[in-house]
Amino acid sequence: MRYRFAPSSPRRVNPLTQALAFAAALTPCAASTAGLSYFDPWYIVTTISGDGRIAAGGWHAHSPTNPNDAAFVAPSGQAITIGRLKPGDENALISAASFDGGVLVGNSYACIGLIRRVCLPAAFRWSNATGMVALPNPLANPSWTFAADVSGDGRYIVGNSTGPFSRIAVLWHPDLHAETLGALHPDSWSSASAVSWDGGVVVGTAGGGADDDPSRREAFRWTRATGMVGLGALPGDQDSSAVDVSMRGDVVVGSSFGTGVSRREQAFRWTPAGGMQGLGFLNGAERSVARAVSGDGRVVVGYSGPSASIDYQGAHAFRWTQETGMQSFASWLTANGVIMPATITLLDAYSTNYDGSVSVGLAREINSPFGTRDIGWIARVGANGAGLLTDIPAFQRGLAETGLAAADAARNLPQNAFDGPYQRSLYDRGGVDANTGNDDRHGCAWAAGRIGCEQDSETRRQSLDAGYCRDFGRWRAGIALASSAAHQRFAFGGRARTDAHRLTLEAALKLDDTWRAELLAGFGEFDGHSLRIYANGARTEASIGHPTGRYQALRARVSAHDLWIWRSASITPYAALSATRSTLEPMVETGGTFSSRFEGAEWKDRNAALGVIARIDAGRDTTLTPVLEYAHRLRQTEATMRADLGIPIGVALPVGGGDRDWLRLTLDLDHRLGERGGLRLSLQANTQDETDIGIGAMYALGF
């Protein structure tokens, strides 16, 4: 059986993909979404897998930037190209997918002619294990093959083979042996359009009709036992064609055509017991067109409108079941609790999944910011409730914000272990500077707080630290606890909060009067709360997530204390190597009709840094200390965090690239309070990825 978003056409970009492509032009939001894998505006969707998770097709033949290759889109929204059959082919397009999307079939086109181009197809089968494999042609050359559908289990393929004077339906077996299925009438033609789950039933259209008129056509159903059997037409009609079949092969859908000039078209559903049944029309309509049948054969979708409708004028998408008859999708969704937007009309339903609970199609919106426009829609009625998505780019952008907020928190938290009090030496904490030679001070304690924000982002951060240190001869050991929180607002009204806790262990060694060696290790975990808001029909809904994870940070540093001294100033250079690792666990949202599952990810970074600490006396009890550090990423891990709704409108979030070189600038003002205490005020800026600006304060005590 075949699940389609739209009729296969290499000359028309599916409006659903056009709608998805608008996402790339939206104003940047609080979370950086520059790396999202949205549908390309030149991408054609021709089919979806039976489980509704894979959308397949290819690049439009006139794409200015992409190869004209066959491709498929995963639930994350990531497009994966599988190429063309032969190097000389101009383009390729997938026409059908197995139930789980593991097997794809389609056609690769070789074109000839300069003034009038003629493109001839060559059928192929693709799987991850075999790659793209040509399907053999049962007819002698010159002829060509066309693959229309693949069985649900991925073993059988149907289509046709066409020569200069003939066209014949073909069934390709698991070993790729090609079997011709014959025709309804001698010297006539046939073409297969769909196949059942196990390949035992094939449906399509054959020429000739009951009176062997070559201009006529008739729907057929083929089995091994019966051969090709015509299904006739509805009473009073003359022609018919079959477009789809259920997984078991016992339900066939298509169209029946009347006589005369108008040749009124009516959708039909055929079963062995009931024969061909007309599905009727929506109120006031004179035409109905079946597009697809659900895998269980219970639901038929398509559109109904005026007989001479141009550009869908007066058309409405329909959904048919035996219990309800034909009803508009708008009526069906309204009955299930969806509030329909007043400015949107659902024009056509292209496809539906196994049980008819998820459908996709074309809608027309008036009074939009772009005027009247055609957009894609996705409707789902299930355990989470009923929903209709019409602003798919906004929905994808909301997924991106939620996923990136969690991913950014996971990546940034390890770096926080090196900021604030920890950017300078452990010997620089304690009311009396241990470097001045006051040997009666053998320990220290401190408490610090910081607040910061990211430029061009609605992100705010704050943290609190408390620590203790003790001297053991030439060694100093320290331990600290930290708690931090980050708040972020999303462009579409949602928000995220991340809370983290960290244990930091430090050890410092005076090698001599100048050289110092230090080691810092941080271990933390975090949990968060995200609120994602989106439109469901004319109503606003929210889905809630709780991201969790853990992180580790390690830094080794060597410094030359007061290596250069000039009057009341001194300079201490240092070099450091650091390694960080952060893990984000998978997250499943709750609430809302279109809640999502976000896959987890892990990042590992290796960095090197060179810096200088300048100490300038600004008074008897006051010291000004600027710190300038240049950092270079030696190694980085790029991960892709994916949002998966079980339908191919998720997003893929590449996280882990960013700047390889950045600067960190800190300006500290230290003021001694009494014999043992000291206050430090800090201003810090960090240019990594997005400029981060923060201020902090620390009170330290030596004893």
C-alpha to C-alpha distance for 540 and 592, rounded to whole angstroms: 9
Q: Is the dihedral angle over the CA atoms 386, 392, 397, 400 positive or is it negative?
A: positive
Strand segments, DSSP code E, in 113-177 are 118-127, 131-134, 144-150, 157-162, 167-172
The residue among 230, 253, 278 that closes a domain is 278
Domain boundaries, position 563: 395-702
- Residue 345 is assigned to a structural domain of this protein: no
- Residue 319 is assigned to a structural domain of this protein: no
| Mean predicted confidence (pLDDT) in 71-91 | 76
Instruction: Write the pLDDT tens digit of every residue in 248-264.
Output: 999 999 999 987 666 78
Are residues 488 and 426 part of one domain? yes
Using H for helix, E for strand and C for coil, what is the string for 350-384? EEECCCCCEEEEEEEEEEECCEEEEEEEEEEEECC
Are residues 595 and 476 part of one domain? yes
- Residue 2 is assigned to a structural domain of this protein: no
- Residue 471 is assigned to a structural domain of this protein: yes
Query: Is 499 a residue whose pLDDT tops 80?
Result: yes
DSSP assignment of 389-407 = E--HHHHHHHHHHHHHHHH
Task: Identify the pLDDT of residue 33.
Answer: 31
Query: Could you tell me the CATH number of the domain that includes residue 173?
Result: 2.120.10.30
Instruction: Write the pLDDT tens digit of every residue in 383-425.
Output: 878 999 988 778 888 888 899 889 888 888 898 899 989 999 9
Query: Is 496 a residue whose pLDDT tops 90?
Result: yes
Query: Is 211 a residue whose pLDDT tops 60?
Result: no
Task: Identify the pLDDT of residue 93.
Answer: 86
Are residues 207 and 118 part of one domain? no
| Mean predicted confidence (pLDDT) in 299-304 | 96
Are residues 480 and 449 part of one domain? yes
Are residues 141 and 122 part of one domain? no
Which range (67-81, 150-164, 350-364, 566-580) has the least confidence? 67-81
- Residue 21 is assigned to a structural domain of this protein: no
Which pair of tokens denotes residue 210? 């009951």
**What is residue 230's three-state secondary structure?**
strand
**Confidence at 165, pLDDT banded by 50, 70, 90:** confident
Are residues 583 and 454 part of one domain? yes
Percent of the chain at pLDDT > 90 equals 55
Higher-confidence residue of 187 and 485: namely 485
411 DSSP assignment: H
| Mean predicted confidence (pLDDT) in 677-686 | 92
**Confidence at 142, pLDDT banded by 50, 70, 90:** confident
Are residues 399 and 531 part of one domain? yes
C-alpha to C-alpha distance for 463 and 248, rounded to whole angstroms: 61
Please enumerate in sequence order all residues whose Cβ is within 8 A of that of 610, keeping only pairs 6 or more positions apart, or say none. Answer: 573, 574, 575, 576, 629, 630
CB neighbour burial string for 120-156, b if at least 16 within 10 angstroms, e if fewer = bbbbbbbeeeeebeebebbbeeebbbbbbbbbbbbbb
Task: Identify the pLDDT of residue 32.
Answer: 31
Are residues 195 and 139 part of one domain? yes
Q: How many domains does the chain have?
A: 3
Q: Is the dihedral angle over the CA atoms 417, 419, 420, 423 positive or is it negative?
A: positive
- Residue 611 is assigned to a structural domain of this protein: yes
23 DSSP assignment: G
- Residue 439 is assigned to a structural domain of this protein: yes
Query: Is 453 a residue whose pLDDT tops 50?
Result: yes
Instruction: Write the pLDDT tens digit of every residue in 648-666.
Output: 677 777 776 667 899 999 9
Task: Identify the pLDDT of residue 40.
Answer: 42
Are residues 465 and 519 part of one domain? yes
**Confidence at 438, pLDDT banded by 50, 70, 90:** very low
Task: Identify the pLDDT of residue 16.
Answer: 35
- Residue 172 is assigned to a structural domain of this protein: yes
Query: Could you tell me the CATH number of the domain that includes residue 527?
Result: 2.40.128.130
Q: Please state the pTM of the whole predicted model.
A: 0.78
| Tokens 């930290």, located at residue | 482
Residue 311, number of CB atoms within 10 A of its CB? 8
- The per-residue pLDDT of the chain, averaged, comes to 85
The residue among 278, 295, 320 that closes a domain is 278
Are residues 54 and 144 part of one domain? no
Are residues 197 and 118 part of one domain? no
Are residues 601 and 543 part of one domain? yes
Query: Is 617 a residue whose pLDDT tops 50?
Result: yes
| DSSP run (H or E) holding 412 | helix 392-416
Query: Is 508 a residue whose pLDDT tops 80?
Result: yes
The residue among 126, 145, 171 that closes a domain is 126
Which range (44-53, 106-115, 680-689) has the least confidence? 44-53
Query: Is 360 a residue whose pLDDT tops 80?
Result: yes
Task: Identify the pLDDT of residue 150.
Answer: 94
